[in-house]
Structure 1
Amino acid sequence: MSSTETGGSVSSACLSSDGTRLLLTAYQGRVLLWDLERSWLAWRQEDPAYHYGCALSPDGRFAAVGLAEERDGAATRASLRLWDGRSGRLLEARTFDAQRTWAVAFTPTGDALVAATSSGELVFLSLPGLETVRVVEAPASGALQLEFNPEGSLLAASPDTSAFVVIDVRDGRRLFDYSDLDDLQGSSANFSPDGRSVCWGMDDGKVGIWGVTLNRRSQS
């Protein structure tokens, strides 16, 4: 067993697809990558900003983190950092016309990245340059959690309200949305490993499971 000082409360964590590495962000400006097989800290980066969602690419090449950079006055600026997943070297950085970048997720193929900002947009970015490929409308004021289905054709997005949506990645259409209308409750939406269903935590303590059809439309 090993441990490290994160320098603040952990705001996000992402386990690598092979289960050997764990990416962590501390809210007040620290990014850490743990090698779980060796039980040691592979790298750590200090970054003076508010850290939110993080993600590791499927092949382990990249680590991404959504942030809010402090500016003069009360407002912050949404940004994104892309590090080398092995060495922790900073590769690219992007800013957005928003106050925060809530969540980030790599496509299953690992050739693109999507960032969810507080302006209510899902920004698809190329790798490693982080050029904008296209922009899709996100649910509510912004998605706090993102997950692709295994094929990468659907994206489940959950805002800070009692709802989630399933989006067609090709054209940005909302194929399905659900809400239990309880503003005091929220949950992440997750696809099953085979992509045939999506689940979401409900306000009555149960988990709802919806089937996903082969033509990429969700049904209850």
Structure 2
Amino acid sequence: MSPTDLTHAVITPANAAGLKRVRQLGPSRIELGWGQTLGFDPLGTRLLSIDKLNTPYRLRWWNLETASDVPAGSVELKLEPSVAFLSSADLIVAGGPPVGEAATPWRPRLLSLSTTDGSLWREDTLPSPVSGLGASRDGTLLVILERDGAWLWDVRSWKQIRDLPGIEGDFTVKECAFSRDSRFAASVISHHDQGHECLYLWDLTTNAQPWHLPIEQLPFVWSVAFHPTQPLLVVGGNASEVLVVDVNERRILKSIPHCQYASNLDFSLDGTLLVESGDGRGFAVHHFDTGEVLFSHSDDEDLQTSDAVFSPDGRFIAWGQGDGTVGLWGVSPVP
């Protein structure tokens, strides 16, 4: 939501139980297996939705500074739906399909698209398809290519900064994330040749090998998120707990019980709240320190799995609904 929209209160542990849907972004599109990956731009003026299960994958975005609930634009891509994000209010960065009319034809690409009309601004050829992207607040991008390792890419200068060591083998990337200060980058992946789920953590101030943590507590991992004010990150998957990892001490600190199949995780602005979306189970808001569920909602669409994410100013939660729309949830206006 626009940072100038101050009519709703910041969501806190004290008022989270009063969350209500305040806006519905459409149009609806009822299809079996619907699901959406969501993300705000850094200022909260645009919201991006990416199909999770349909091919070709559709990207839609809304200008939240206007009253219109109709998407400001949309494009379709043929690759993984999770590899796209809003680097600013003006630009979407995404993995692009090989096409014959590209500068280097029939090669995977990294794309920069305009949010004005979806047109291509910049592109670069890659050795293999992008399988994971994570955006930092300063515009740096973690690019993970299956079979080709991990890179740091600078969106503003549109060039590779350096390789990141230590990731190899037959794997599938689930999610990537940066710490708030951009010192650390993390990725959760499924290692097919090693037969386990794992967390990779890079300290970007060094060229050291990443810390590699096998995740034995979760049969499958899907999500990772850094705490905004503490040296902690959380890992979620298909189990009734979320793991809390101490980044400095490189160890699992504790688990938060009763989180149900966390397909994505996101922290509130100050880290007191953790929102999780579940596999066909809606979304829930937890008090991070205690794990207590303060609010939950579901539309009973068992076949859809969509993200729930906080807006950058902490006033709204966006959640992809079962009919293909996106709901914005907030608490009562400030008196």
TM-score by length of 2: 0.56
Whether the 8 Å CA contact 1:8–1:28 is kept in 2: the answer is no
Taking the aligned partners of 1:6 and 1:212, their CA distance within structure 2 comes to 46
**Which residue, 157, 161, 172 being the options, matches 1:42?**
161
| Correspondent of 2:184 among 55, 59, 62 | 62
Is the deviation greater in 37-46 or in 57-66?
37-46
Q: Which residue of 2 aligns with 1:113?
A: 233
Q: Which has the higher mean CA deviation after the structures are superposed, 146-155 or 157-166? A: 157-166
C-alpha contact (below 8 Å) 1:91/1:128 kept by paired residues:
no
Distance 2:227 2:155 in 1: 24
Verify: 1:178 aligned to 2:297, yes or no.
Answer: yes
Q: Give the number of aligned pairs.
A: 208
| Corresponding residue number in structure 1 for 2:69 | none
For residue 194 of structure 1, give the secondary structure of its aligned residue in structure 2. coil
| Residue pair 1:116, 1:138 contacting (<8 A) in 2 also | no
What's the CA shift for 1:86? 4.9
CA distance in 1, matches of 2:237, 2:303: 21
Kept after mapping to 2: 8 A contact 1:162/1:184: no
Give the distance between the partners of 2:176 and 2:324, measured in 1 at CA: 27
Whole-Å separation in 2 of the counterparts to 1:51 and 1:126: 22
CA distance in 2, matches of 1:201, 1:80: 26
Where do residues 1-220 of structure 1 align in structure 2 (5 Å cutoff)?
A: 1-5=122-126, 7-10=128-131, 12-18=132-138, 20-27=139-146, 30-45=149-164, 46-48=167-169, 49-71=171-193, 76-86=195-205, 89-97=208-216, 98-137=218-257, 139-140=259-260, 142-212=261-331
Partner in structure 2 of residue 217 of structure 1: none
Contact 1:79 1:100 in 2 (8 A): no
Contact 1:44 1:88 in 2 (8 A): no
Which runs of no fewer than 5 residues in structure 1 stay unpaired?
214-220
1:161–1:78 Cα change, 3 Å: same
Does the C-alpha gap of structure 1 residues 64 and 154 become closer, same or farther in structure 2, counting only changes over 3 Å? same
Report the CA distance shift for 1:117/1:202 in structure 2 as closer, same or farther (over 3 A).
closer
- The worse-fitting range, judged by mean Cα deviation, of 180-189 and 59-68 is 180-189
Tell me: CA distance 1:53–1:4, structure 2 relative to 1, closer, same or farther (3 Å).
same
Secondary structure of 1:3's counterpart equals strand
Aligned residue in 2 for 1:218 = none
Which position in structure 2 is the counterpart of 1:216? none
RMSD of the alignment, in Å? 2.4
Alpha-carbon distance in structure 1 between the residues aligned to 2:316 and 2:136: 22
Distance in 2 of aligned mates of 1:129 and 1:113: 12
CA deviations on 1:9-62 (whole Å, 9 max, x unpaired) are 52x3221113x2112334556323211122111233442222211101111111
- Give the TM-score normalised by structure 1: 0.83
Taking only the aligned residue pairs, the percentage that are identical comes to 31
Q: Which structure's CA Rg is the greater one? A: 2
Runs of 4+, deviation exceeding 4 Å: none
Q: Flag the 1:127–1:189 CA change in 2: closer, same or farther, 3 A.
A: same
| Aligned-partner Cα distance in 2 for 1:118–1:47 | 24
Aligned mates of 1:28, 1:144 — CA distance in 2 = 24
Q: Which has the higher contact order (CA 8 A, sep 6+)?
A: 2
- Asked whether the 8 Å contact 1:78–1:96 carries over to 2, the reply is yes
Task: State the secondary structure of the residue aligned to 1:102.
Answer: strand
What does the per-residue CA deviation read over 1:102-129, in whole Å, with 9 as the maximum and x for residues that have no partner? 1111001151111113334211111133
Question: Any gaps of 5 or more consecutive residues in structure 2?
Answer: 1-121
Work out whether residues 141 and 155 of structure 2, in 8 Å CA contact, stay in contact via their aligned partners in 1.
Answer: yes
**Alignment partners' CA distance in 1, 2:234 and 2:150:** 19
Match for 2:215: what amino acid? Answer: F
